[in-house]
């Protein structure tokens, strides 16, 4: 390699690393304490080592930590942060947001925070916040090591195309999920560092041939990998493949055996004690039997459906799903990265003289397939297995393959354009993900200035207790269909400081009486609880109220709002009311051949396509007629029964109709529509309240048919229809 020619590219790589460090630190500052996936449990592990000078043990009757993971990362974390005085107990539980994760699949700012955050987390950091940020920034440096190694993997593959090596490193450095986790406490970034180091060494082994120095290096790296994360055990297959490819031209099997023995021996010296400890504690050298026991493990053979269902989430969480997955990027980001990767991998099918060496392609491709297989197995045995971060050890392999493949669409002298395009595109995505998605998801609402306060619509200036004043509101739209959404903007002015956290309720009530839809949340959509309020300032909250697809229509309703203490009373207005009535909302029926059209799929056999009620309010002892409209998807072989219940709290049944259809389901023809009427007689002792109506299908002795989503996963074993009101007898 011509060092004179390569020196400028080292400078370019240094600039790339500087930009990565800047962005990763910015991501870390935008992520409140413990919001990244499992960060609280990772912190507990490190704090346990720092305080008790021992490793934690997996236990069912103790607060959860990531005790099943190997200890290397946590020992380093304890070394970096253990000197910081922290008041909280090792296993303390931060204040949680009970409403977090509302409509978690949507991009937005609605209750994305799992925890409530205070001024103690602000700069200058001290106590727990300082300890957390010190470990986060240690992780940032580890992520920088992954970026640096990715560049060198690219240079090893194509020494004469340094721009493509920079492009591959940029694909890693500007991956929003990689940046996010680099700025968080987790062991997936050090796992990526180990994976990148082993991958680079394997490529050098294939290119230069075996040597004692390489054997020792791989043995040490593999041992450190086993002390970092258990699924890196799979790297042994990659190492064995590299030795096989390295000795194949000369058939030097002695070097093959010697290399593997040295690797296994050194790895055993470094990490063997960890596996022996697991065997002594759990009767299993991996400790995975205890993990499955504590974390809801399942049999792999029964869950092949989970792989197909989990692939979209696996892909999206590889590129950007923050928090516990409840802070996604727009769908276009996932589609764009998929198209980019598909195009880059397809580029390797183009015949060119300057194709990558086949052994190198085999190493990179095998690394990717190997870890995809590992993750697929984890999906089979763990409900939380579809995490893109589990693929981080081979993210450098994917990045290099994609950028090298993109370069094949250009003439040799313009191949640098692929690297530049990848770098610029991913940098733009990472900046957008930071300022357009991550920061807004956890930032408190902005205070309104004087002009904005003057422009508040529908002024009411109603006080709720001595806590807050509602200055005005906006309700849009005022005509909606079932399955639609009503946005309610409330303009709040805090009156006093309070240590209590009051919740806001927003109800859409039918004038007939039943509750159509409701929202409960802390103010600021979870980001500005009343315990953090500043008296006198004014801010606006917009609450999205989802109207259920099963809501009864046509109907006329109205919105009412209020404040209450969870598990406590509502705050009252000066006139003694515990709720304030706002605008009216009309619920129009959706178009369709049946009343209240639905598409509730029961077991891929029959569909509930609509329903009707003869009344929506009744007294104890009075009947309500419920008509259900069914449609067979295919010829049905079984005679099912259909039930309808009026349900109260804790699913207590206050009215019941359980019938076999007049035309047995085994005689329903595909596409045929059947209507069945159920008479639900309200029990004589039914207390006045709002009740659900549930409907389901079952076969005696075999259980209920599942309600199935469009993608095939099970939603429930019943459908809840519009609510009814039982009046005082």
In this structure, are residues 358 and 385 in contact, taking their beta carbons and an 8 Å threshold? no
Q: Residue by residue, what is the 3-state secondary structure of 299-317?
A: CHHHCCHHHHHHHHHHHHH
Instruction: Label residue 15 exposed, middle or buried (CB < 10 Å: 0-12, 13-18, 19+).
Output: exposed
Query: What band does 373 get if pLDDT is binned at 50, 70 and 90?
Result: very high
pTM: 0.90
pLDDT the model gives residue 671: 87
Domain limits, CATH 2.70.50.60, in the chain: 450-587
Nearest to 393, CA basis, from 209, 222, 156: 222
On whether the CB atoms of residues 25 and 123 are closer than 8 A, the answer is no
Backbone angles phi, psi at 674, to 5 degrees: -125, 135
To the nearest whole number, what is the mean pLDDT of the chain? 92
* pLDDT score, position 681: 95
Question: 657 - beta bridge partners?
Answer: 644
**Alpha carbons 482 and 516: distance in angstroms, whole number:** 10
Three-state DSSP state, 125:
coil
Among 219-223, 484-488, 600-604, which is the least confidently predicted range? 600-604
Q: Is the confidence at residue 202, as pLDDT, over 80?
A: yes
Query: Binning pLDDT at 50, 70 and 90, where does residue 7 land?
Result: low
Beta-carbon count within 10 A of 440 CB: 15
Q: How far apart are the first and last CA of the chain?
A: 92
17 or 416, greater pLDDT: 17
Query: Is residue 73 within 8 Å of 190, Cβ to Cβ?
Result: yes
Helix, strand, or coil (residue 600): strand
Residue 3: the pLDDT is 36
Structure tokens that stand for 179 in this block: 């940046």
Bridge partners for 556 per DSSP: 586
Q: Nearest-CA neighbor of 329 among 106, 36, 28, 24?
A: 106
pLDDT given at position 712: 65
- How confident is the model at residue 1, as a pLDDT? 39
Contact 180, 31 (CB under 8 A): yes
129 pLDDT higher than 50: yes
Q: Which residues contact 94 (CB under 8 A, 6 or more apart)?
A: 33, 34, 40, 115, 116
What pLDDT, on a 0 to 100 scale, did the predictor assign at position 715?
82
Whole-angstrom distance, CA of residue 307 vs CA of residue 314: 9
In this structure, what are the phi and psi dihedrals at residue 463, rounded to the nearest 5 degrees?
A: -95, 140
How far apart are the C-alpha atoms of 469 and 467, rounded to whole Å? 7
301-321 per-position pLDDT tens digit: 777 777 888 899 999 999 999
Tell which residue, 579, 532, 541, has the closest CA to residue 559. 579
> DSSP alpha helices (H): ranges in 528-605?
none
Q: Are strands 539-546 and 600-602 parallel, antiparallel or unpaired?
A: unpaired
Q: What's residue 55's pLDDT?
A: 95
Q: Which DSSP string do the residues of 631-656 spell out, in sequence order?
A: EESS---S--EEEEEEE-GGG-EEEE
Confidence of residue 329 (pLDDT cuts 50, 70, 90): very high
**Widest Cα–Cα separation across the chain:** 94
Write down the pLDDT at residue 351.
82
- From the options 3.40.50.1860, 3.40.50.300, 1.20.1630.10, 2.70.50.60, give the CATH code of 450-587: 2.70.50.60
Q: Within a 10 A sphere around the Cβ of 669, how many other Cβ atoms?
A: 11
Determine the pLDDT at residue 354.
Answer: 66
Per-residue pLDDT tens for 257-302? Answer: 999 999 999 999 999 999 999 999 998 898 887 877 777 766 767 7
Place of tokens 């996936």: 37
Bin 76: left if φ > 0, else alpha if -120 < ψ < 50, else beta: alpha
Helix (H) or strand (E) holding 443: none
Helix (H), strand (E) at residue 457: none
Q: CA quadruple 330, 334, 335, 339: dihedral positive or negative?
A: positive
Among candidate residues 278, 287, 306, 325, the one with its CA nearest the CA of residue 375? 306
Average the pLDDT over 337-357 and give the result.
86
Mean pLDDT across 612-641: 92
Strands annotated E in 554-594: 555-564, 580-587
**What are the pLDDT digits (tens) for 432-489?**
999 999 999 999 999 999 999 999 999 999 999 999 999 999 999 999 999 999 999 9
Helix axes 127-157, 395-407, angle to 10 degrees: 40
Question: Mean per-residue pLDDT for 162-171?
Answer: 93
Closest residue by Cα to residue 474 from 453, 452, 454, 491: 491
Note the pLDDT tens digit of each residue in 86-107: 999 999 999 999 999 898 888 9
CA 720 to chain centre: 26
State the Cα angle at 393 between 388 and 399, rounded to 5°: 80
Percent of the chain, pLDDT > 90?
A: 75
Task: Look at residue 4 in the predicted model and tell me its pLDDT.
Answer: 37
Contact call for residues 179 and 164 (beta carbons, < 8 A): no
Tokens of 180: 């996010």
| Sheet architecture: strand order including 468-476 | 462-464, 468-476, 485-494, 539-546
Reference 632, options 677, 602, 594, 592; nearest CA is 602
Q: Where in the chain is the domain with CATH 2.60.40.150?
A: 600-726
Predicted confidence at residue 227, as pLDDT, reads: 97
Does domain 600-726 match CATH 3.40.190.170? no
State how far the Cα of 185 lies from the Cα of 115, in Å rounded to an integer. 16
Q: Is the pLDDT assigned to residue 190 strictly greater than 50?
A: yes
How confident is the model at residue 2, as a pLDDT?
Answer: 42
| Percentage of the residues of the chain whose pLDDT score is greater than 70 | 97
Q: What is the DSSP string of 208-264?
A: H---HHHHHHHHHHHHHHHTT-GGGGGHHHHHHHHHHHHHTTTT-HHHHHHHHHHHH
Residue 5 scores a pLDDT above 60 = no
Strand order in the sheet with 555-564: 479-480, 580-587, 555-564, 503-510, 515-521
pLDDT digits (tens, 9 = 90+) for 498-550: 999 999 999 999 988 888 999 999 999 999 999 999 999 999 999 999 999 99
Judged by average pLDDT, the poorest of 128-137, 295-304, 717-726 is: 295-304
- Interatomic CA distance for residues 76 and 124, integer angstroms: 23
Asked whether 607 and 633 are in contact (CB, 8 A), the reply is yes
In the numeric block, which tokens belong to residue 154? Answer: 């690219």
H helix and E strand count, the chain: 18, 24
* Contact between residue 696 and residue 717 where contact means Cβ atoms under 8 Å apart: yes
Q: In sequence order, what are the residues at sequence separation of 6 or more whose Cβ sits closer than 8 angstroms to the Cβ of residue 685?
A: 620
Would you say 327 and 321 are in contact if contact means Cβ atoms under 8 Å apart? yes
347-to-269, 341, 343, 356 alpha-carbon distances in Å: 43, 10, 6, 11
Per-residue pLDDT tens digits for 644-671: 999 988 889 999 999 889 899 999 988 8
How many other CB atoms sit within 10 Å of the CB of residue 326? 22
Strands (E), 653-723: 653-659, 673-681, 689-699, 703-704, 707-708, 714-716, 719-720
Cα 77 to Cα 71: distance, rounded to the nearest angstrom = 10
Contact assessment for residue 507 and residue 514, using Cβ atoms and an 8 Å cutoff: no
Query: How confident is the model over 567-584, as pLDDT tens digits?
Result: 889 999 999 999 999 999
* Closest C-alpha to 510, from 476, 550, 551, 539: 551
Tokens at 555, concatenated: 């109907």
For helices 395-407 and 358-381, give the axis angle rounded to 10 degrees.
Answer: 140
CB atoms within 10 A of CB 272: 14
Bridge-based pairing of strands 617-618 and 724-726 is parallel
């Amino acid at each position: 390699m011509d060092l004179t020619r390569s020196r400028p590219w080292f400078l370019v790589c240094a600039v790339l690393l500087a930009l990565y460090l800047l962005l990763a630190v910015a991501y870390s500052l935008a992520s409140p304490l413990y919001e990244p996936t499992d960060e609280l449990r990772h912190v507990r592990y490190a704090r346990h080592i720092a305080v008790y000078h021992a490793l934690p043990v997996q236990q069912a009757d103790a607060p959860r930590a990531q005790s099943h993971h190997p200890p290397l990362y946590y020992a380093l974390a304890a070394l970096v942060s253990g000197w910081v005085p922290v008041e909280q107990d090792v296993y303390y539980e931060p204040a949680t947001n009970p409403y977090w994760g509302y409509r978690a699949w949507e991009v937005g700012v609605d209750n994305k925070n799992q925890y409530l955050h205070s001024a103690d987390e602000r700069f200058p950091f001290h106590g727990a916040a300082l300890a957390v940020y010190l470990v986060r920034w240690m992780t940032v440096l580890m992520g920088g090591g992954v970026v640096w190694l990715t560049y060198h993997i690219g240079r090893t593959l194509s020494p004469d195309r340094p721009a493509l090596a920079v492009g591959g490193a940029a694909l890693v450095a500007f991956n929003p999920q990689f940046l996010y986790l680099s700025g968080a406490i987790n062991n997936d970034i050090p796992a990526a560092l180990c994976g990148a180091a082993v991958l680079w060494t394997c490529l050098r082994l294939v290119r230069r041939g075996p040597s004692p120095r390489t054997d020792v290096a791989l043995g040490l790296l593999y041992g450190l990998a086993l002390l970092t994360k258990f699924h890196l055990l799979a790297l042994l297959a990659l190492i064995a493949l590299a030795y096989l490819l390295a000795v194949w031209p000369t058939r030097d099997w002695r070097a093959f055996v010697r290399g593997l023995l040295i690797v296994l021996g050194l790895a055993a010296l470094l990490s063997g004690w960890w596996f022996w400890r697991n065997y002594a504690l759990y009767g299993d050298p991996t400790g995975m039997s205890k993990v499955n026991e504590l974390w809801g493990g399942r049999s792999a053979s029964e869950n092949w459906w989970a792989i197909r269902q989990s692939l979209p989430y696996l892909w999206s969480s590889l590129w950007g799903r923050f928090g516990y997955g409840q802070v996604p990027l727009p769908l276009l980001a996932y589609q764009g990265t998929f198209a980019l990767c598909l195009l880059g991998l397809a580029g390797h099918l183009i015949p060119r003289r300057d194709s990558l060496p086949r052994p190198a392609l085999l190493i990179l491709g095998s690394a990717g397939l190997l870890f995809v297989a590992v993750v697929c197995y984890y999906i089979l045995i763990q409900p939380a297995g579809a995490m893109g971060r589990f693929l981080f050890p081979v993210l450098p392999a994917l990045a290099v393959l994609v950028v090298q493949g993109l370069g094949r669409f250009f003439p040799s002298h313009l191949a640098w354009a692929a690297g530049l395009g990848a770098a610029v595109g991913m940098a733009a995505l990472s900046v957008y993900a930071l300022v357009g998605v991550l920061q807004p998801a956890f930032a408190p609402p902005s205070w309104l200035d004087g002009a904005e306060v003057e422009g508040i619509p529908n002024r009411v200036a109603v006080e709720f207790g001595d806590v807050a004043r509602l200055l005005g509101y906006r309700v849009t739209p005022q005509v909606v269909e079932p399955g639609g959404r009503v946005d309610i903007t409330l303009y709040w002015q805090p009156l006093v400081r309070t240590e209590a956290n009051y919740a806001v309720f927003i109800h859409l009530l039918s004038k007939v009486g039943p509750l159509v839809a409701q929202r409960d949340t802390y103010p600021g959509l979870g980001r500005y609880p009343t315990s953090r309020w500043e008296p006198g300032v004014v801010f606006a909250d917009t609450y999205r109220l989802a109207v259920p697809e099963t809501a009864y229509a046509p109907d006329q309703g109205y919105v009412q709002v209020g404040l209450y203490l969870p598990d406590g009373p509502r705050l009252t207005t000066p006139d003694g009311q515990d709720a304030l009535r706002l605008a009216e909302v009309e619920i129009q029926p959706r178009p369709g051949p049946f009343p209240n059209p639905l598409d509730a799929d029961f077991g891929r056999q029959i569909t509930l396509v609509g329903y009707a009620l003869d009344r929506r309010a009744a007294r104890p002892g009075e009947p309500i007629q419920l008509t259900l409209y069914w449609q067979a998807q295919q010829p049905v072989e079984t005679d099912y029964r259909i039930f309808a219940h009026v349900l109260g709290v804790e699913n207590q049944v206050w009215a019941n109709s359980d019938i076999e259809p007049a035309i047995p389901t085994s005689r329903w023809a595909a596409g045929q529509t059947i209507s069945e009427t159920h008479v639900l007689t309200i029990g004589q002792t039914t207390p006045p309240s709002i009740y659900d109506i549930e409907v389901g299908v079952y076969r005696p002795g075999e259980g209920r048919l599942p309600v199935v989503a469009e993608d095939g996963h099970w939603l429930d074993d019943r459908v809840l229809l519009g609510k009814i009101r039982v009046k005082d007898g």
